[in-house]
Chains A and B, each alone.
Chain A
Amino acid sequence: KNEVEQSPQNLTAQEGEFITINCSYSVGISALHWLQQHPGGGIVSLFMLSSGKKKHGRLIATINIQEKHSSLHITASHPRDSAVYICAVNPVLGGGADGLTFGKGTHLIIQP
């Protein structure tokens, strides 16, 4: 079992829908990251969270440290949001220098 589990693995939705991607982790962490990867493209960091909630444009990320769970929400989804969304954690013992541990990603397709 992977230390970071994401759901769903694949998600297809219509433009304008509210999207939720979930991430659960089984290790102690100092922070959790949400990343975006477009097909054939590089990886972009969307959020880094250690508690609470963050918002950037149409994207919202939340984390519940006690439940070891995070969600990424996309409001008013658009075809350009189509990408793979990856949850990743900084294991607490690593102090950030051991690198990230990743989930397997959620492949999101937004249809016009």
Chain B
Amino acid sequence: DTAVSQTPKYLVTQMGNDKSIKCEQNLGHDTMYWYKQDSKKFLKIMFSYNNKELIINETVPNRFSPKSPDKAHLNLHINSLELGDSAVYFCASSRSGGYGYTFGSGTRLTVV
């Protein structure tokens, strides 16, 4: 069983579209995250969320919004996609304090 699964693995879409990436974890972790890996392979936090609090990196455009229907899911919705949004997006989860960090396999988003 995959611990942190995200779908789709690849996403190609046109500028201006709205898209979502789904993430689910079956580890019982209480905190989930979205990270962006740019073309230079540098990783940066976008959001962290536990069932009490959403923490947003202030550099993330408000076109990006996390949605958590329950503790095991944290989906990423992106409005009005731009060329610069092309990147690999990783979902991750952990227990409180950052223990047991587990990453999903990534979603490669290409905006054309």
Contacts and interface: CB of A to CB of B under 8 A. Distances in A.
Given A96-B31, A104-B42, A31 B106 contact: no
Interface residues of A, number: 26
A36 B14 CA distance: 32
Given A42-B106, A97-B53, A86 B43 contact: yes
Interface of B: 31, 33, 35, 40-45, 47-48, 50, 53, 55, 57, 90, 92, 94, 96-99, 101-106
A100 B106 contact: no
Interface stretch (A10-18, A20-28, A43-51, A69-77): A43-51
Contacts of A90: 97-98
A47 B101 CA distance: 10
B43 A48 contact: no
Interface of A: 30-31, 33, 35, 37, 41-45, 48, 84, 86, 88, 90, 94-102, 104-105
A100 B92 CA distance: 10
A71 B99 CA distance: 20
7 contacts: A35-B103, A37-B41, A43-B103, A44-B103, A45-B101, A98-B55, A99-B45
Contacts of B106: 42-43
B48 A99 contact: yes
Nearest to A107: B41
A45 B102 contact: yes
A42 B106 CA distance: 6
